[in-house]
Amino acid sequence: MHSPKPTPETDWPSELYRILKAAGVKQMSYVPDAGHSQLIRMFSADRDVTTNVLTTEEEGIAIAAGAWLGGQRSVLLMQSSGVGNCINMLSLSAIGRFPLLMLVTMRGEWAEFNPWQVPMSRATQPSLEAIGLKVMRAETADDLVETVESAASFAYESDQQIAVLIGQRLIGKKKW
């Protein structure tokens, strides 16, 4: 028995990896997250990319600033619950006007089992916009691939701060 051929709906992490590599990403920071696990594995296996495991999400903002000052592009992966940890530190990217690209997997939405995820889910987009980030959202694999490609170009070519929200339905129901 063979595995079915990957489709955009099942293999969007590979497409995101390809897009981010083509955009020149040399550093990837993350707090471990099941929704980003495939992308984390791909970047971790890439000897040309420095991966940074964070103890808290706001460290990734500082790493992104340092990467840019050192001449490298970075991407920050996190879950929506981590956005609340970053709000104050996001002032660094807003005031410093350096490129910031965040890929945020959403929790507290579709088929969520954990009620503690719901409040921050509701606050994620308004909080990011209030601090000055451009927020883009994707609910399907095709939209996500196109959105990340656009967001990477916008962030790195126009020195913008962008968060791409990845809808929970795309990631799938979390199983405990």
The CATH number of the domain holding residue 162 is 3.40.50.970
* Number of domains the chain contains: 1
The mean pLDDT value of the chain amounts to: 91
**Domain range spanning residue 79?**
12-171
Mean pLDDT of 126-154: 96
Tell me, yes or no, whether 161 lies in a domain: yes
Q: Locate 120 and state its tokens.
A: 């921050």
pTM over 0.95, yes/no = no
Tell me, yes or no, whether 91 lies in a domain: yes
Q: What is the SS3 string spanning the chain?
A: CCCCCCCCCCCHHHHHHHHHHHCCEEEEEECCCHHHHHHHHHHHHCCCCEEEECCCCHHHHHHHHHHHHCCCEEEEEEEHHHHHHHCCCHHHHHHHCCCEEEEEECCCCCCCCCHHHHHHHHHHHHHHHHCCCEEEEECCHHHHHHHHHHHHHHHHHHCCEEEEEECHHHHCCCCC
The percent of residues above 70 in pLDDT, for the chain, comes to: 92
More confident residue, 39 or 4: 39
pLDDT of residue 60: 97
pLDDT of residue 1: 47
Tens of pLDDT, residue by residue over 16-47, are: 999 999 999 999 999 998 899 999 999 999 99
pLDDT of residue 106: 92
pLDDT at residue 4 above 90?
no
Tell me, yes or no, whether 2 lies in a domain: no
